[in-house]
Structure 1
Amino acid sequence: MRAVRIHGVNDVRVDDIEEPQPGPRDVIVRVRRCGLCGSDLGYIKVGGVAAPAEAPFGIGHELSGVIEVVGADVVGIAPGQRVVVNPMGDGNGIGAGLPEGAFAPLLRVSNATLGGSIHPIPDHVDWDAAALAEPLGVALHAVHRSGAVPNDRVAVFGVGPIGLGIVFFLKRAGVSSVVAIDRSPQRLDRARRLGADHVIDAASEDVAAVLGDLHGRADLFGWPTVGTSLWFESSGAPSVLPLIVGMAPFHARAVMVAVHHQPIAIDWKMALGKEMSFITSMAYPDEFPEVIAAISEPGFDADAFISHRIPLSRFDEALAIARDVGHSAKVMVACDA
């Protein structure tokens, strides 16, 4: 079968490999859709997860599909079930340095358990919406970690797929003032579609001035501040976190979701004076059931997240589109085409 694998630094190929075979505690999933993630782009650039890998490995971890084969010792999972896969569940690391990756027609999930790595989805949820479960899990976990409450005044920097998910779940939680900030008008339009109360084009607008107009202004020890109480950094731009510290008011919370590959200098004297809280958020230890409930609701707008749908046979094209962050959101790959 054809499968996308990384062979080295900036060396990604669609290889012919043997179909996976299940052990007694494994299942085989026939993959219908798999989303391209910023992590995938990072792994390609590095040639591995944190350093170049010694052997080729598969990528792809945001998937939906059908249970094809079930190992003899697996309980509660049956062929034909429509599912999403938690790639970190049951000790797996699908698409993150192990041989298995989901940009392939078939995927082995090791030590599979119901509610661990395998989560059933309702029949009415289409494959594209279902494959959003993993990135939406990242977004929901960030919102959970933030402690967001309805009267928070929130700024979300970077509304790629994760930032869009954060906007979606903040509004779903009843937060009354959510501002999306990005340099892409197309992504800002998507944030509006998902309920953002205001958007700021950082390429053409003064972010501090607009936030001050929206959330109010104050002065602390001679530092001008805005009234934004909760900040999310999901852009990955090195300038954003220092900007947040500079604008934040007393007792502001800042949630770091984006992966920064280089150290960032922070004015810790200012952060100390403001008694800021810095929260980091990664992955989705418990979020899959709540995400599946959200995407199962009538009216869930998967198209607000998905900008392109490309067959696996044109993976190079999908990769090029995903790298154009100004004009793409989630790029969804059809692994059955």
Structure 2
Amino acid sequence: MRVLNIHGVGDVRLDPRDPPKAGDNDVVVKVKACGVCGSDLSYIKFGGINRKEGGVTPIGHEAAGEVVQIGKAVEGLKVGQRVVINPMQTSTFIGSGGPDGAFTDEVLVGDAKVGDSLLPIPDDLPFDVAALTEPLAVALHGVNRMQVKPGDKVVVFGCGPIGLGMVLWLVDRGIKDVVAVDLSPERLDRAQALGAKAVINAASEDVRERLLEIQGRTTVFGREAVDVDAYIDAAGAPSLVSDVIRMAKKHAKLVITAAYMKPVEVALGSMLTTEMSITTAVGYPDEMPEVLAALPRLKDKARSLISHRYQFDDVLKAFETAGTPQSAKVMVEFGEL
């Protein structure tokens, strides 16, 4: 068997490994599909996470597959059952610094619990769609933190897989005034196909002026502001937070889901006059079951997030593609789905 390991900065390899064996409380899942996440790319850039000198970081956490081994103390599962892994609920934080990663033929889920670290998936839900549960749960948590309702105007900055997932959920909740902003024409086309009212290419357009045209104008203490109720930052551009504060109307909201590695400037003076609120969203404390329940209804829209597919033999090519602006969700598949 093989596993994808980070050995150092920019050094990721497909290494041989022994097959995992389930202990009394464990389950082994044969991986059928696993998505490439932006955090995977970051782990490679920084040389791994929790990696000891001379050691490795196994990666991959957006996985769906089939149960092939069950420990005698594990209840509620059977061999052959189709499942999606909730990595945040695994005891080893699969793919994020522990001893196990899901870019492998078979992955060990320690201390496995049905409805917690492992969620059964319907027989008619394809594995590639099921593997979108984790990133779509991240997106849904960001939308939940926005607390928006039909009639609100929303702007999504960043149309990678998470931003596109947010567009999907916002539209599904009846939010008709969604504007998506990105630098990639391909990603903006996907956002529009998912139901965004309008898109803005920040590489060639003045974002503030275009938002004033699309969403309308209002004033705050005599200052012109954009008539948008909520913004979500899935881009992480250095000036974005201050740019939003300067254009925001009274009581606007900004939710940050992007990971910032360096401090950013914040225009507190402008924020004071608008009484706007800024919060963050990370992970998916409760959202995975909700996403999985909705996927049979939304599977066609969800599948449209997948821009590229690679077999596990070509996983290194998959990572090269995932680092390009033309990609959305890159899916790695293990044989026939």
Where on the TM-score scale, by shorter chain, does this alignment land: which range?
Answer: over 0.9
Change (3 A) 1:329 1:53: farther
CA shift for structure 1 position 167 = 0.5
Q: Which residue of 2 aligns with 1:333?
A: 332
Residues 1-337 of structure 1 aligned to structure 2 (within 5 Å): 1-49=1-49, 53-54=52-53, 55-297=55-297, 300-324=300-324, 326-336=325-335
Change (3 A) 1:52 1:265: farther
Aligned partners of 1:105 and 1:336 also within 8 Å: no
Q: Which stretches in structure 2 are left out of the alignment for 5+ residues?
A: none
RMSD value, Cα:
1.4
Aligned partners of 1:9 and 1:52 also within 8 Å: no
String of CA shifts for 1:233-255, please: whole Å, max 9, x gaps.
00122121111111111101000
String of CA shifts for 1:103-156, please: whole Å, max 9, x gaps.
001000111111101111111111111110000000001111111111210000
Q: Distance in 1 between matches of 2:314 and 2:207?
A: 39
Kindly provide the amino acid, as one letter, of the partner of residue 219 in structure 1: T
Aligned partners of 1:12 and 1:44 also within 8 Å: yes
Residue 150 of structure 1 aligns to a residue whose secondary structure is coil
String of CA shifts for 1:73-112, please: whole Å, max 9, x gaps.
0010111111111001143400001110000010001111
Residue 289 of structure 1 aligns to a residue whose secondary structure is helix
Q: Distance in 1 between matches of 2:35 and 2:194?
A: 19
Residue correspondences, number: 335
Kindly provide the amino acid, as one letter, of the partner of residue 216 in structure 2: G
Kindly provide the amino acid, as one letter, of the partner of residue 71 in structure 1: G
CA shift for structure 1 position 197 = 1.1
String of CA shifts for 1:47-75, please: whole Å, max 9, x gaps.
123x6543212100001100110001001
Change (3 A) 1:178 1:298: closer
Q: Distance in 2 between matches of 1:165 and 1:254?
A: 17
Kindly provide the amino acid, as one letter, of the partner of residue 291 in structure 2: V
Between stretches 150-159 and 216-225, larger displacement belongs to 216-225
Change (3 A) 1:257 1:231: same
**Dislocated runs of 4+, deviation >6 Å:** none
Q: Distance in 1 between matches of 2:269 and 2:111?
A: 48
Kindly provide the amino acid, as one letter, of the partner of residue 285 in structure 1: P
Residue 87 of structure 2 aligns to a residue whose secondary structure is coil
Kindly provide the amino acid, as one letter, of the partner of residue 142 in structure 2: A
Q: Which stretches in structure 1 are left out of the alignment for 5+ residues?
A: none
Q: Distance in 1 between matches of 2:11 and 2:120?
A: 34
Kindly provide the amino acid, as one letter, of the partner of residue 38 in structure 2: G
State the TM-score, normalized to the length of structure 1. 0.96
